[in-house]
Amino acid sequence: MTALVLDGKKLAREMEVELSTRVQEIKRRTNGVTPVLATILVGDDPSSATYVKMKGNACQRIGMESLRVVLPQATTTDELLSEIDELNSDPRVKGILLQHPVPSQIDERKCFDRIALEKDVDGVTVLGFGAMAMNEPAYGSATPVGIMALLQHYGIGIEGKHAVVVGRSPILGKPIAMMLLNANATVTICHSKTQTLSKLVGLADIVVGAVGKPQFIKGSWIKAGAVVIDAGYHPDGIGDIELSAVIEKCSAYTPVPGG
């Protein structure tokens, strides 16, 4: 079986062309006002800094402005809330991204939920997640939205399929489960306390690896013909799924990196 490669990098390039056109239309309708995406980075985590830089570069490529807010490691919850309030009240700022994770002394959930719903472009607020889960208009979490875009772009059928999501984080496992459910899949959510995990994964038509552990999901667990979505990325270019053991028998998969 020759598996279909779900090429996320290629789709991203195509989406950027479309987004560039949409940004230009926004500028035309607002007399040249450039929409601004604000990113908040708290602390000195190098991976988080890299992600924020990538988001800024993406803004530049499509003609948006990136407003980067960098706060020290010792920032308090109240100080971060104050920064979010300023961005909420700035009419130029159309979206706010608070880079996860924040330092341990900060109440991350309180800060996420301070972001105005209309500016919650990463789907991290309780209200944003709730609207998405109820299939109401809302911004969804970035990686789950990317997964759904890939499945749609490559014509992967979801309706009536059994999807198994391994992981239950609020920005990946839970939202992708809700999105798949809204697309009429039957969804099983697995996690660290799940018993007979390998058997449940073996029942899946669509497997989503979102557990955050390198090659935790073994290729031998996955049935022939399944669609394999690996949302993990770890050093040495490996994900949450043992892709090398499944590529020859799955029907489609996301490469790592590049999915």
pLDDT per residue over 51-67, tens digit each? 899 999 999 999 999 99
pLDDT tens digit sequence for 88-142: 999 999 999 999 899 999 999 999 999 999 999 999 999 999 999 999 999 999 9
Nearest alpha-carbon partner for 86 in 105, 101, 67: 67
Both tokens assigned to 15: 């989406």
pLDDT in tens, 4-33: 999 999 999 999 999 999 999 999 999 999
Rounded to two decimals, the pTM is 0.92
pLDDT band at 153 (very low <50, low <70, confident <90, very high): very high
CATH superfamily of 141-253: NAD(P)-binding Rossmann-like Domain (3.40.50.720)
Q: Which residue from 187, 192, 236, 195 is spatially nearest to 215, judged by alpha carbons?
A: 236
CATH placement of domain 34-118: 3.40.50.10860
Catalytic residue annotation = 55, 99, 122
Q: Which residue spans of the chain are classified as CATH 3.40.50.720?
A: 141-253
Residue 43, both tokens: 């602390």
How confident is the model at residue 44, as a pLDDT? 87
65-71 sheet: strands from edge to edge? 65-71, 36-42, 93-98
Task: Give residue-wise pLDDT tens across range 35-46.
Answer: 999 999 999 888
pLDDT for the residue numbered 233: 86
Determine the straight-line distance between the first and last CA of the chain, rounded to whole angstroms. 20
Q: What pLDDT is attached to residue 247?
A: 95
What are the phi and psi torsion angles at 215 (to 5°)? 50, 40
Higher pLDDT, 256 or 233: 256
Q: What is residue 51's predicted lDDT score, i.e. its pLDDT?
A: 87
Between CA 241 and CA 233 the distance in angstroms is: 10
pLDDT (tens digit per residue) in 176-218: 999 999 999 999 999 989 999 999 999 999 999 999 999 999 9
- For CATH 3.40.50.10860, list the domain ranges present in the chain: 34-118
Q: 1 pLDDT band (50/70/90 cuts)?
A: low
pLDDT above 80: residue 83: yes
User: pLDDT tier at 78 (50, 70, 90 boundaries)?
Assistant: very high
Tokens of 184: 């009429």
